[in-house]
Amino acid sequence: MASDDVKLIGAWASPYVMRPRIALNLKGVEYEFLEEKFGSKSELLLKSNPVYKKIPVLLHGGKPICESLIIVQYIDEAWSGHSILPSDPYHRAVARFWGHYIDDKWFPALTGISRAPTDEAKKEAIEQVFAGLKFLEEVLEKSGAGKPFFGGDTIGYIDIALGCNLGWLRATEKLSGLTYLDESKTPLLVCWAEKFSAHEAVKCVMPETDKLVEFAQMLKAKFSAPPSK
């Protein structure tokens, strides 16, 4: 295959950046990873994603593609090989639905826990996270049918959409003392999480939990420190 010019603008700690990296790894596509420096945005990023100015951005032959799940679908469509989305329209729709759910409902609930202004709001956010995991456990049971991943024998779209959050989920567990991936509640997901994290295409891009904890503590200190004069 002719070498495509493939670059990915991202950062090590971002779960969204992990998504296209896993997708590219699954397709066996070589790419240049352009790490953004924390606290500043490169000219290239601002030029490639003027609307959101956010990572990840995939640059394929110089053309920018933005928004992590849109990038994953693009990678699936632009390169042959491992299929990330299922082949039939109904299961594709199911996968896309859960991708939206994870991004629009579940992950905001997770990040909302630490940001909750009241105990009541915090409790609600925690309940939503657990409810979401319960839904996803059912999805895994139904679609997996005894298989290790949402995508069956191999990693698919829902695996990528959910799995990229495992680093921060584990970091949140360490910081809060609360266990979200609980074997007594969601045994299939616990098993899945281990297999996903150990997968060839994932392990090299999954950030270490301890490093994320350190990062979160640094962020907290930075944003709660009195403003410098």
Partner 1 sequence: MGGDEEVKLYGMWASPAVRRVEWALKMKGVEYQYIEEDLAKKSHQLLEHNPINKQVPVLLHNGLPVLESLVIIEYIDETWKGNPILPIDPYQRASARFWATFAETKLLDGTKAIFLAQGEEKVKAIKKVEDTLKVLEEELRGKKFFGGESIGYLDIVLGWIALWLGVGEEVADYRVLDAIKFPKITSWIENFLHVDLIKENIPDRQHTLEFFHNFRRFGFAIPNK
Write out the residues near partner 1 by the rule CB under 8 A. 51, 60, 63, 65-67, 70-71, 73-74, 77-78, 89-90, 92-93, 96-97, 100-101, 135
The answer to whether the beta carbons of residues 69 and 103 sit under 8 Å apart is yes
Nearer to partner 1, 19 or 60 (CB): 60
Least distance to partner 1, CB of residue 36, Å: 20
Least distance to partner 1, CB of residue 145, Å: 17
- Owner of token pair 């003027």: 50
* Three-state DSSP class for residue 172: helix
Least distance to partner 1, CB of residue 225, Å: 27
The answer to whether the beta carbons of residues 200 and 158 sit under 8 Å apart is no
Pairing of strands 57-60, 32-35: unpaired
Nearer to partner 1, 132 or 207 (CB): 132
Neighbours of 223 (CB within 10 A): 7
CA–CA distance, 229 with 220 (Å, rounded to integer): 19
Nearer to partner 1, 89 or 227 (CB): 89
CA–CA distance, 195 with 203 (Å, rounded to integer): 10
Nearer to partner 1, 38 or 97 (CB): 97
Least distance to partner 1, CB of residue 100, Å: 6
